[in-house]
Amino acid sequence: MGEGMPNDAALMPLISSANIACGYHAGDAQIMQKTIALAIEHGVKIGAHPSFPDRENFGRTPMQLPAEEITAIVKHQIELLAELAEKNQTRLHHVKPHGALYNMAWKDTEMATAICKAILETDPTLVLYAQSGSALISVGETFGLQTCSEVFADRSYRSDGSLTPRTMPHALLENDADVLRQVLQMVTQQTVNADGQTIPVRAETICLHGDGAHAVAFAQLLRETFRIHQIGVLSKP
């Protein structure tokens, strides 16, 4: 959210937590302020969505930076959003890295450590949202952070549990049936199909990309499906 896409107002009533861009891959102070206000209006938990400093590529291009620099840029982005949240008489609930930063921390322990240090130095009570089975979850738990294992509604998986890179075919799930099948399997069975295999996942929060062409339709579909299947969605921290 807060990436300058036209879907935010329509999506916000349908979600329980929002990962808000902090200006490094998209957004700016004005958009961040507007998105925070929208989240407050709908009782949605506010999270920082820090990225590599890479607006040109929307934060989705891998970058090799020293660990100290990664800690500094993540910390700065958390602080930017936290300051705006405080001005709106609320506070951040969580941190979820964006794009290449998130994907690289899937297996890069040094990068995961740098991200966790940024959270610890900013506000150790913030929840770390990170991909199920990732190094980021493991390192976060080692540091004593509260973690929330994330699965993806609109992305396909590889057999090692990582996401299929966007440069590869079928990386994005783009029809209702595929999204519903995957989400229900992850939530009810704690598994996902990946490269012809069934692998375990820990589904504690479900990511839906706000810049996706079908984001609003998928969010509406998932909400209605959860209602039918009596699957609750937590709306409080």
Place of tokens 């861009």: 21
The CA–CA distances, whole Å, from 78 to 51, 73, 95, 138, 159 equal 10, 9, 8, 21, 32
Q: Please state the domain count of the chain.
A: 1
Residue 65 maps to a domain: yes
pLDDT at site 234: 78
What tokens appear for 55 in the block?
A: 């607006």
> What would the pLDDT profile of 121-166 be if each residue is shown by its tens digit?
999 999 999 999 999 999 999 999 999 999 999 999 999 999 999 9
pLDDT at site 235: 60
Residue 128 maps to a domain: yes
The residues near 10 (Cβ < 8 Å, ≥ 6 apart) are 216
What tokens appear for 155 in the block?
A: 């992305």
Which residue in 174, 165, 204, 160 sits closest to 186, CA to CA? 204
Residue 233 maps to a domain: no
- What tens-digit pLDDT sequence spans the chain (237 residues)? 999 999 999 999 999 999 999 999 999 999 999 999 999 999 999 999 999 999 999 999 999 999 999 999 999 999 999 999 999 999 999 999 999 999 999 999 999 999 999 999 999 999 999 999 999 999 999 999 999 999 999 999 999 999 999 999 999 999 999 999 999 999 999 999 999 999 999 999 999 999 999 999 999 999 999 999 999 987 644
pLDDT at site 113: 98
Residue 89 maps to a domain: yes
Residue 96 maps to a domain: yes
Residue 205 maps to a domain: yes
Mean pLDDT of the chain: 96
Contact 206, 153 (CB under 8 A): yes
What tokens appear for 110 in the block?
A: 């040094």
Residue 114 maps to a domain: yes
Domain with 162 in it: 8-228
Residue 2 maps to a domain: no
pLDDT at site 237: 40
For position 175, which CATH number holds?
3.20.20.370
